[in-house]
Structure 1
Amino acid sequence: MMKLLIGNRNYSTWSLRPWLVLKHFEIPFDDEVLQLSGDGWRNVLAQRSPTGKVPVLIDGDLVVPETIAIIEYLADRFPDKAIWPTDLNQRAVARAASAEMHSSFMGLRSHAPMNLRASHPGKVGADTVAKDLHRLEVLWGDLLAKSGGPFLFGQFTAVDAMFAPAATRIRTYALPVSDLLAEYVEAIYALPAFQEWLALALHEPWIVDDDEIDVIQGRVKPGTLA
């Protein structure tokens, strides 16, 4: 059986993405959490991952790091699962949007880290993420208008997994978005696979200061959050 090495569920955006694909499309796998903080965590990652990062998919002798590479491998390995849209043109658009997520949206990433346990309305200034929110309004809005929702291409596909962490940021920080985007965020949260991940994340005891907004913004000293 395949194994997916992941980081802390509460914070690890890149781990969430392939995990959702595996779980939603009912592909059998095990997972293992590798800590993203604490004594020697970087050494542990270096020993288990070719890149020193998570996620990593292990399938027999094959070791695949990097989220998009993992998703593409799964799509090739299980072509009957429709992990990407089945239409050629839609599939190209979905891959382009996923690549954009991979390379862009730096404002959201740096100013609004994923934190599934938290609720921090008002702690992220809208101006710091305005450019990224505008791009999401255009990108998601166009795709949802064409597909009719609830997901970007109607049914859940890999591109929704790629954007799921952005949806969590919108909810965690109560970022201003249109009703259409708010409905998409709700669709992500209602997905059974996401609900399973979320339930596990909420019971994690670990704190990663680098992803806690109160530490980032200087309201709380590192190492003092319980």
Structure 2
Amino acid sequence: MRKFVSGNLNYSSWSIRPLLAVRKAGLGIEEEIIPLDFPETTARLKQISPTAKVPLLIWDGIEIWESLAITEFVAELAGSGVIWPKDTARRAIARAVAAEMHAGFAALRKACPMDIRARAAMPDMIPELEVDIIRIQNMWSGLRAQYGGNTAEPGPFLFGAWSGADAFFAPVVTRFRTYGLPLSGAAADYAAAVLEDPDFLKLEAQAAAEPWWINYGPDGRSSGYLKP
């Protein structure tokens, strides 16, 4: 069995990062969605996942349960230049910024939960959130300025051609759009390129068609089905 198991594409940022890498790798991996925050969710995940969480990649009996590890696994299978830049220096920096996203930006995550199909008011600009936004603006602009002219791997993404770094920042791009957060210059151009990528557009359409909702309230998360 070769299967990628995710949560709701509309809400699960942890899922869509490696899912984009899986799709870019083109390995013919089956996909399954287990909707989150329903009474039966944990029991279903316990049957297949060591952590009872998503994402999970099942590959010929191997269970890989962490988004960075899944991305690296499919990168090895896909071959040089498909997921990470071919150039050693660019590849190292791409992995560094992907890891920074994976581990950081707690204020942005808390204030702006991912909801691809929603449009919401900008949250209060507390200092911690402002720091995250400034870091992202400077990072995206700086990487585009330094690597955007890459003639060996051309493209509109952080390192020219699409890479795993763009998979990890795709949920962040959607947060900026959903909550109307400020972006300018090369960072705004980069965000537009992510939103126009064909693989993201496919994922966005799938997220829009999902029949589930999740609410984030003071008492925790709740879920249900959209009315037909």
TM-score by length of 2: 0.89
TM superposition shift of 1:224 = 8.8
Structure 1, residues 21-57: CA drift from partner, whole Å, max 9, x if none? 1222322111000121222211211222111111101
Give the 3 Å change call, closer, same or farther, for CA 224–9 of structure 1 in structure 2: closer
| SS of aligned partner of 1:63 | strand
Alignment match of 1:201 (pick from 207, 210, 214): 207
Distance 1:224 1:194, change over 3 A: closer
Matched to 1:73, the amino acid is: F
- Relative to 1, partners in 2 of residues 1:190 and 1:223: Cα closer, same or farther, differing over 3 Å? closer
Q: Structure 2: where are the runs of 5+ without partners?
A: 149-154
Kindly tell me: are residues 112 and 42 of structure 1, through their superposed partners in 2, closer, same or farther at Cα, counting changes over 3 Å? same
Instruction: Check the 8 A contact 2:37/2:223 in 1, yes or no.
Output: no
Q: 1:165 is paired with a residue of what secondary structure?
A: helix
CA–CA separation in structure 2 for the residues paired with 1:63 and 1:25: 18
CA contact (8 A) 2:24 2:83 kept: no
- Aligned residue number for residue 125 of structure 2: 126
Task: Give 1:136's aligned residue.
Answer: 136
Q: What amino acid sits opposite 1:126 in the alignment?
A: M
What SS class does the counterpart of residue 57 from structure 1 fall into? Answer: strand
Structure 1 117/84 Cα, relative in aligned 2: closer, same or farther at 3 Å? same
Alpha-carbon distance change, 92 to 167 in structure 1, aligned in 2, over 3 angstroms: same
1:209–1:223: 8 Å Cα contact kept in structure 2? yes
SS of the residue corresponding to residue 54 of structure 1 reads: coil
Tell me by how many angstroms 1:177 deviates: 1.4
Secondary structure of the corresponding residue to residue 36 of structure 1: coil
CA contact (8 A) 2:26 2:78 kept: no
The residue that corresponds to 1:94 in the other structure is 94
1:113 corresponds to: 113
More strand by share: 2
Deviates more, 1:126-135 or 1:163-172: 126-135
The answer (yes or no) to whether the contact 1:24–1:192 under 8 Å persists in 2 is no
Aligned CA RMSD, in angstroms, stands at 2.1
1:175 to 172, 181, 200: 181
The total of aligned residue pairs comes to 219
Structure 1 consecutive aligned stretches of length 4 or more whose deviation exceeds 4 Å: 221-226
- TM-score, normalised by the number of residues in structure 1: 0.90
Counterpart Cα distance in 1 of 2:63 and 2:223: 34
1:16-27 → structure 2 map (5 Å cutoff): 16-27=16-27
Q: Where does the alignment leave 5 or more consecutive residues of structure 1 unmatched?
A: none
Report the residue type matching 1:14 in the other structure. Answer: W
Give the aligned partner of residue 185 of structure 1: 191
For residues 136 and 105 of structure 2, the distance between their equivalents in structure 1, rounded to whole angstroms, comes to: 9
Deviations, residues 64-117 of structure 1 (Å, cap 9, x unaligned): 110000011111122245311111111111111111111100011111000011
